[in-house]
Amino acid sequence: MSGSYITIDGEVSNDIKRLYISFQDKHLNDAALRAASVKKQQSGSSSGNSTPSQPAGPAPPPPVYPEDAAMQAIRRFSCRVPFTEVGCHKDHRSTSVQ
């Protein structure tokens, strides 16, 4: 059965064992762990020892929206019916003749 990593006996296949060992050899050896530690310390020390940046000044005022901004957005993004016979009419009167 292709793609199965656990055998009938409940053991892990040799492919997974080889993958795990190669991962350990490449990423979890002493030299790799030391290099990662040094890299982490250097990145932390370069940003940690710098002088704090000056504030850019007062924040810009918030945008001013019209009172009916929500309705404008609803109208702008609502589905537009291509034919006037279909859908709601603005005057909401029934157009059918009885």
- Residue ranges of the domains in the chain? 14-47
For residue 48, what pLDDT is reported?
Answer: 52
Render pLDDT for 52-94 as a digit per residue (tens, 0 to 9): 566 778 888 888 999 999 999 888 888 766 666 655 555 555 5
Q: State the DSSP string of 14-78.
A: HHHHHHHHHHHHHHSSHHHHHHHHHHHHHHHHHHHSSPPPPP--SPPPPPP--TTHHHHHHHHHS
- Cα–Cα distance for residue pair 81/85, rounded to 1 Å: 9
Render pLDDT for 2-48 as a digit per residue (tens, 0 to 9): 556 667 676 778 888 888 888 888 888 888 888 888 998 888 766 55
For residue 46, what pLDDT is reported?
Answer: 63
For residue 2, what pLDDT is reported?
Answer: 52
* Nearest of 27, 25, 5 to residue 14 by alpha carbon: 5
